[in-house]
Structure 1
């Protein structure tokens, strides 16, 4: 992979990580359609890390409040602390992806080499977002989440390990199906990305550095991370504005279009 390819893929990753159109699908389908080599799993994970830096940059105050609330709840005995409870719910929602990701790692890696399966999963993402909006009640804010809500949203994130299933689309959709307000569902989804993607990036990064890849490969990796950070920050701001006024299902049509075009093109 050269620097230009890393730049383009990083920009695409950041733009599509939080806008619910499946960043992993684009990282699989775009190189295929352009005749590029498939990016490695390590590259995919590290550009995800760039988008997490964007979340931290934009939500650092809220993240700080979550950390403080967590310590008050765990070490200060403040079991009724709302931010502490939310922090625990975020950790709880992370568990399904950790368990499924570790137990089915090889299965998900193989999917990255199967563009046709990715195309069908992109169609499924569109259907999930469309149905979740039709069935949503939007009666809960983040302070009214339960541990069951958190686990179910976490299952949505676990499913999104598969390329083609949008992580933000799945988590927001599952939150909507649990009655969470759309704007709060989006914020929970952004915050939920931090523990799972940071953990995965550190795990994959360990393998990356142990393999002692050359500097020629490391430079494109850095370019990918930086470009993903910039486009990720922009996409977060865009999505937060969109979900305040428009249903999530508006992104379904894009997912269906890209999925169908890829299938028709005999991907």
Structure 2
């Protein structure tokens, strides 16, 4: 795989993973809109791991709090608030883990690489994001997280395994319906993604060990480039949401979905 293709994939992933416009959907579109070969699911997971590293670095205080909560849960240290947060995030991760394992072991993931599916989901979940952002109150912060809210947003996250949905988009949609502010919805979404993406990355390591040297090199390069693009995107998004609504993302999703339906169906 050429460096230019790896760079394109990394930039697309790094930008679209955090903007609520569906990273998996855009990754699927790269070979369909260009003459480039399909990068395959291994590269897709590698670039997701690159975004995971960016989340941990950008939200290092929150990530460290989650780690402390995990240690406290097994008797190492005392951090009751962090321990509670750790278990809430764990509970919110369960739905995506169960559905992800089911889809992977059943061989259903390849069947999702459909332009029509991406287009329809871009539109449907884009409209839902717009509704949630308009009617949702802006009163809750991440510190107000409850077990019920964590599970609800976790169930929404599981839907993002279907391309075009957008993991960040659907979890922010759920959080906004629950009354979290735009900035806190994004923060909630990104932290909830840590164990989910880490789990997918762990499975990818097993596949990577069996891959050719060239595929291993491509995966590492793509992951590293994605990390840089993701950090820059998070800085932009967290500042953007302090002063603007989700409308621009809703318009983009609906327009992109409509265009795909027109040109590819």
Q: Which residue of 2 aligns with 1:118?
A: 118
Q: Which residue of 2 aligns with 1:109?
A: 110
Q: Which residue of 2 aligns with 1:47?
A: 47
Output the CA distance in 2 between the equivalents of 1:70 and 1:206. Answer: 24
**Structure 1 residues 76, 52: closer, same or farther in 2, change over 3 A?**
closer
Output the CA distance in 2 between the equivalents of 1:253 and 1:245. Answer: 18
Q: Which residue of 1 aligns with 2:82?
A: 83
1:228 corresponds, among 217, 226, 229, to 226
Task: Quote how far apart the aligned CAs of 1:9 are.
Answer: 0.5
Runs of 5+ in structure 2 lacking a partner? Answer: none
Task: Quote how far apart the aligned CAs of 1:99 are.
Answer: 0.8
User: Do the aligned partners of 1:7 and 1:227 also contact (CA within 8 Å) in 2?
Assistant: yes
- For these two proteins, the number of residue pairs brought into alignment is 263
Output the CA distance in 1 between the equivalents of 2:154 and 2:206. Answer: 25
User: Do the aligned partners of 1:49 and 1:197 also contact (CA within 8 Å) in 2?
Assistant: yes
Q: Which residue of 1 aligns with 2:176?
A: 176
SS in 2 for 1:18: coil
* Structure 2 residue 59 is the aligned partner of structure 1 residue 59: yes
2:257 corresponds, among 235, 242, 259, to 259
* Structure 2 residue 95 is the aligned partner of structure 1 residue 92: no
Output the CA distance in 1 between the equivalents of 2:48 and 2:232. Answer: 15
Q: What pairs up with 1:200-211 in 2 under 5 angstroms? A: 200-210=200-210
CA offsets, 1:118-158, max 9 Å, x none?
11111122112111112201222222221111011001110
Q: Under a length normalisation based on structure 2, what TM-score does the superposition of the two structures give?
A: 0.93
* Worse-matched range after superposition: 227-236 or 29-38: 29-38
Output the CA distance in 2 between the equivalents of 1:146 and 1:74. Answer: 21
Task: Quote how far apart the aligned CAs of 1:78 are.
Answer: 5.9
Output the CA distance in 1 between the equivalents of 2:220 and 2:7. Answer: 9
Runs of 5+ in structure 1 lacking a partner? Answer: none
**Structure 1 residues 181, 73: closer, same or farther in 2, change over 3 A?**
farther
User: Do the aligned partners of 1:86 and 1:142 also contact (CA within 8 Å) in 2?
Assistant: no
User: Do the aligned partners of 2:42 and 2:219 also contact (CA within 8 Å) in 1?
Assistant: no
Task: Quote how far apart the aligned CAs of 1:185 are.
Answer: 1.2
Output the CA distance in 1 between the equivalents of 2:77 and 2:40. Answer: 45
Task: Quote how far apart the aligned CAs of 1:74 are.
Answer: 5.1
CA offsets, 1:159-205, max 9 Å, x none?
00111011101111101111122211111111111111111111122
Task: Quote how far apart the aligned CAs of 1:35 are.
Answer: 2.3
Output the CA distance in 1 between the equivalents of 2:214 and 2:90. Answer: 37
Output the CA distance in 1 between the equivalents of 2:91 and 2:72. Answer: 18
Output the CA distance in 2 between the equivalents of 1:146 and 1:266. Answer: 43
Output the CA distance in 1 between the equivalents of 2:71 and 2:216. Answer: 37
